[in-house]
Amino acid sequence: MDVVIIGSGNVATHMSMALKEVDNSIVQVYSRTLDNAELLARKVDAEPINDIDAIYRNADFYIFSVKDDALPDIVSKMPPTTGVWAHTAGSIPVSILFPHKRIGVIYPLQTFTRKREVNFQDIPLFVEGESDETTALLKTLAETISQYVYILSGKKRCFLHLAAVFACNFTNHMYTLASEIMGEEDLPFHLLNPLITETVAKVAVMDPYEAQTGPAIRYDEKVMQKHMELLNDSMKKDIYSLLSRSIHKTHQ
């Protein structure tokens, strides 16, 4: 397949490299900043461009992998092309790519960091097209880079993305807060690694509800009050209190 990548961030980088590895041809990489386009283009043997009017018009796929709020502006400036247009966002509808006729989504359910390698074959990809034909084309492309490809409606994809924010982004922020607490007492964060590893391992084989432990589930007020006294930040206190109440209410 001939593919044009619009964007040069984390998702664009990992997806274009995965596509290249299985012999899809990355024709061009577009970024508003030419240096960014060149950085990714070198990795996938593509032409770097920062002029949207210079887009190759006859590719099989045009994958838009940019920040959500930048997508409408880029789409509005895209010249007419052949091929399927698809974005990679979790909560943006397919219709954002109108008025192009063949449009869809390839949404990778994973957290990406530019310098950390991932095995794309293990990443679930969720596809949606404006027609059965486009959906089938996107599914075919997705299956070249992942063994887990699913057809999912835009509405359900939004709920999937919401759940992912709770499971990934919010959880990682808890690690950040834990790291701050440890750092204030000159304790290394890596002491928590076995606990984190086991927590993740448990939810891979059992329902998270059943895996819940800690003082909030039994509402141990003495322990919880002691924790609140140790916190010297009002926002951390609010987060601790709100999460504890949520855990207790869930398990009453």
In this structure, the chain runs to a length of 252
Q: Would you say 87 and 29 are in contact if contact means Cβ atoms under 8 Å apart?
A: no
Evaluate the CA torsion angle 176, 178, 181, 185 in order and state its sign: negative
**The model's pTM:** 0.92
Model pLDDT, residue 116:
87
| Alpha carbon distance 101, 77 (integer Å) | 16
- Name the DSSP letter for residue 80: P
Instruction: Return residue ranges of the chain for CATH 3.40.50.720.
Output: 2-152
Model pLDDT, residue 230:
97
Distances (CA, A) of 138 to 84, 88, 102, 110, 141: 8, 12, 10, 18, 5
Model pLDDT, residue 63:
98
Model pLDDT, residue 193:
97
Model pLDDT, residue 104:
98
Model pLDDT, residue 114:
77
What is the CA angle 8-14-17, rounded to 5?
A: 95
Q: Which residue positions in the chain have pLDDT lower than 50?
A: none
Q: Would you say 84 and 134 are in contact if contact means Cβ atoms under 8 Å apart?
A: yes
Instruction: Return residue ranges of the chain for CATH 1.10.1040.20.
Output: 157-251
Q: In the CATH scheme, what architecture does the domain 2-152 have? A: 3-Layer(aba) Sandwich (3.40)
* CATH code given to domain 157-251: 1.10.1040.20
Reported as a single tens digit per residue, the pLDDT across 149-187 is 999 999 999 999 999 999 999 999 999 999 999 999 999
